[in-house]
Structure formats: structure tokens, C-alpha cells
Amino acid sequence: MKATVKAHKDYTISRIDDRVYGAFLEHLGRAVYTGIYEPDHPTADADGMRGDVTELVQALNVPVVRYPGGNFVSAYNWEDGIGPREERPVRLDLAWHTSESNAVGVHEFADWCATVGTEMMLAVNLGSRGVDEARNFLEYVNHPGGSYWSDLRIKNGRKEPWNVKMWCLGNEMDGPWQVGHKDANEYGKLAANTARAMRMFDKSLELIVCGSSNSDMPSYPDWERIVLEHTYDHVDHISLHMYFANREDDTPNYLGLSHKLDRYIETVAATIKQVKAKKKSRRDVYISFDEWNVWYHSNKQDRKILDGNDGWPHAPGLLEDIYNFEDVLMVGLILNTFIRRSDVVKIACIAQLVNVIAPIMTEKGGPAWAQTIYYPYYFASVYGRGTAMQLLTSSPGYETTHAAETPYVDVSGVHNEEEGMLTFFLVNRHASASIDTEVTLEGFGDGSVVDHQVMTHPDLKAVNTATNQQEVAPRKGDGAKLAGGKLTVSLPPYSYQMVRIK
């Protein structure tokens, strides 16, 4: 079987915003407690943050981390997480039916972000609270001093403001599961008022309004239109979320889900344009895809806690999906989609980062390791920076419930002009056929293959564990050749690859 790809230096989609390789960390399960924070852990630093986790996060070069939720934020009092630790209250977290110790709050999170080298993206609570909480939180975080909230921050040990630019106006407010759930008009008005107040403090903030929780929501896509009609002039991004599942154990159909993602982005991009036209606005609003990942492996085991049959445990194991090799392919396809849609998707966050539906797993008191999906995320984040190429791809395909034709070969290309580097990320969705792929390169000059990474595994369900951390890991490829302006590479059945040319 064969596929062809054409790339021309002048045919580009957009500069990729580095922030499409962002991540998300919520006060949920063991993401924070025994995830990033475990003061008794042998690798813990002076702030109680796990050094082994820090290293795994640093390697990913994560540009931005969204915090503190998620569903958690919709009943969260940020003031509970400041001041002397011993005075912080224990609260019941209604979203996940757990107890929150508040041992970690905005100060500890900000310090951790500085250590791992990432930017903060904060969310305000528009579920149980509103404009007042948002303006106070903003003043606490961003005002230099000389006001009630900024002076309290200084008293709590942080002199300089953090100057956080990205602020989410609530979370998944279209979802009936959300504390303080609203309809599109109620939420749109509240979000607009909150955004106006926040902009009175600082016009340069980047504000993110809630779009749909997923494209199967009954209110989708009217939700986006109505919310944007209220907020278009006051926000910069609309947030979308989507989780991917293979509940029927139907791999070809599962891997076709990236079509659904693509359609979701396309539809919301069109809705943004519609509202822009209606408002006769010159401004652009973009998409912040600030929750995405595979999520289904842990659903059954979580039921007991989520139904409240375990009381209010503190930091129990929740949403601890153990990812397999098949999920590597899905994550590679999702990231390819974001690269190809980089003209409209300017922020995206893998949900989440540690323990909770995450590329990094830990054991309390024990090791931290990379799950299978760590690797496609790592390759895209570290090597996928630059300009997205408009590729002309021709590949045989197959039918799924999501689309009449899904190509077996899915590819994205990134040109980093500063480094003179071309990077291709390729996924073969075929179960049994190797696909010989020829990429014609025009206008790039001479070069050679400088890196080639391959992920394959005979068992789609293979996983990495604490004791077998490298069962699913990339290996160096050796079959990619560049000659006469043509890159040739063979893609084994069910495989993920990265090829770099300089």
C-alpha cells in the first residue's frame, strides 16, 4: 500500500502558537497530592514538590498549565489556599466527592510553575461565585501592591505580582453536572460582566469563555453562538473540551474519532466567524482547546467514589487511566489535528498532567514514570514548534461511523525556519498493512534525515507500569531516506513516527 504527501515551503497554514502544547492540572484525585506535591517523598524539594515529577514535566517543555479546575473550580474558594498552611480550612469538594486540604494553593502552584518553567493559566469560579471573586482574585495575583488583596499577597510571602495573562471564565458551564450550571444566556451575561470587570483592571488580559463540554451536548453548537453574542467583544478565546474513548473495543472506529474533533473545531470556527460578522467586529476570537485526552479506562472503578459511597476521601486514586499502545496512536492523531488547525486553535491543554488521565503516573512514596501517551505529547511539544505546513496528502482509507472516508495515513508537518528544520508526525491507522509513504519536498533546499523515532507494538493493549516502565517506548527508526527532494518512509501497521529533516 502507498501514500503520497506534497509539501511546499510557501504553502503554510499558520504559525503554531506554542501554547497548543499546554497541560491541565486540577485539584482532583492524586493530581496535586502525591502527584506534584508529596512532602514526604524521597525526591521532594524544600517546597514539598516531587523532584521526579518535576523532571518528567520539565522534559515535556510544557508552555502553559491551566489550574485549579475543571469541575473543582466551580465551588472553589481561592482564599482557602492562601496564608499559613495550618490555618487553611479543609473543604468538601462537591465535584469529585472528596476532601480538599488546601495544602496547595495559588502560591505553591505558582512556585511549581516557575520550577518546571511554565506559564500559569488560571480559572475563576463562575459556578458558585461571580464577578466579585474574580476581581479580588485578579487583584491578589496581578496587582503590585498598595491595595487590600495585593498587600495580603505580599504578607503571604510573595512581593512581586505574578502577572498572569490567561484567565478562564469558569469551566464547562453548559454541563448539568457543574456546580452553578447555567443556560447559555445566563452564563453569557455573567461571563461578559466578569470579563468587563477584569478588563477594567487590565485591558491586556487574555480571557477565555466557556464553549461546549463536548460536541454531543444538546446545547451544542447554539451554546457557542449565544455565549459569543454576549461576550464577543470582551474575550479572546472560546474554550472547547473533548475526551476520546474506545468503549466498544473497535480500534479502527476509535482512531477515526479525530474526524469528529476536526469537525468540532471547524464548526466552532464557523460560529466565531458568524458572530464576528453579526457584530461587525474587527477583532478575532480563537479556540482554546483546554481539555483533551483519552478518558475511559478508569470510568468503572471510579463509580464508588463519585457516587459518594466512600465518604469524602482526601486525594483518592480517581480518573487513573492506564494508557495502552493504541492510545499513543489516538494522542498522535489529536495532536496532528491541532497542528493542522493551528490557524484557529491557539491554546490546547492535555487533560491532565499527573495521575489524573495523565501522561505521568506516580506511586505514593514510590516511582514516577511516563505512560505510553507521554511520548507523542513529548515529540509534538518539543519538536512541533514553528509553522504548520499545508500538506497535500493522498492515502487509501476506510469507513467509520464518524466519516465516510478516513485515510489510513494521517500526517502533519511543521517547518521551523529559525532552525531550518522540517518535522513530520505520521500515524498509520491500518491494522495489518505497512504503507510506503513518499513525501515530496519543494522549496526547502537540500537536507538529510536527522532524527527518526518510531512507536509500534505487537499488542495494542500493552501498557507501562511502575515495574515495567519501558514496555511501550519510542525507538530510533532507520528506514527513512531523503533523496532528490523526496522523503521515503515505510509506516508499519498501527504505528506512530516522527521524522526530522535539516
Q: Interface with ligand AHR by CB under 6 A: which residues? A: 26, 69-71, 171-172, 213, 241, 291, 351-352
Rounded least distance, CB 197 to ligand AHR, Å: 23
Shortest distance in whole angstroms from residue 316 CB to ligand AHR = 15
Residues 6+ apart with CB under 8 A from 272: 224, 228, 238, 284, 285, 286, 287, 344
Among 38, 100, 133, 172, the active-site one is: 172
Closer CB to ligand AHR, residue 170 or residue 376?
A: 170
Q: Least distance in Å: CB of 325 to ligand AHR?
A: 23
Q: Looking at this protein, which amino acid is placed at residue 425?
A: F
The residues, any chain, with a CB within 8 Å of residue 497's CB and separated by 6 or more, are: 424, 425, 426, 427, 452, 453, 454, 455, 477, 480, 489, 491
Q: Residue 215 or residue 406: which is nearer to ligand AHR going by CB? A: 215
- Closest residue to ligand AHR, judged by C-beta, is 70
At its nearest, how many Å lie between ligand AHR and the CB of residue 398? Answer: 30
**b/e 466-480 (16+ beta carbons within 10 angstroms → b):** eeeeeebebeebebb
HSE on the CB side for 105, CA within 13 Å? 25
CB of 73 to ligand AHR, least distance (A): 8
In angstroms and rounded to an integer, the radius of gyration of the C-alpha atoms of the chain is 23
Calpha distance 137→455 (Å, rounded):
44
CB of 290 to ligand AHR, least distance (A): 9
Enumerate long-range contacts of 472-478, CB under 8 Å, 24 or more apart.
472/324, 472/325, 472/328, 472/372, 472/375, 473/370, 473/375, 474/375, 474/379, 476/452, 477/452, 477/453, 478/452
CB 97 to ligand AHR: min, Å: 13
* 172 catalytic residue (yes or no): yes
Which residue, 71 or 193, has its beta carbon nearer to ligand AHR? Answer: 71
Q: Which is nearer to ligand AHR, 34 or 171 (CB)?
A: 171
- Residue with Cβ nearer ligand AHR (147 or 299): 299
* Total count of residues recorded for the chain: 502
Q: Tell me whether residue 176 or residue 458 sits nearer to ligand AHR (CB atom).
A: 176
Alpha helices in 391-454 (DSSP H): none
From 429, 430, 482, select the one nearest 451 (Cα to Cα). 482
Q: Which is nearer to ligand AHR, 161 or 180 (CB)?
A: 180
Catalytic status, residue 471: no
Residues 6+ apart with CB under 8 A from 311: none
CB neighbour list of residue 141: distance below 8 Å, 6 or more residues apart = 106, 122, 153, 161, 162, 164
Residues labelled catalytic: 172, 291
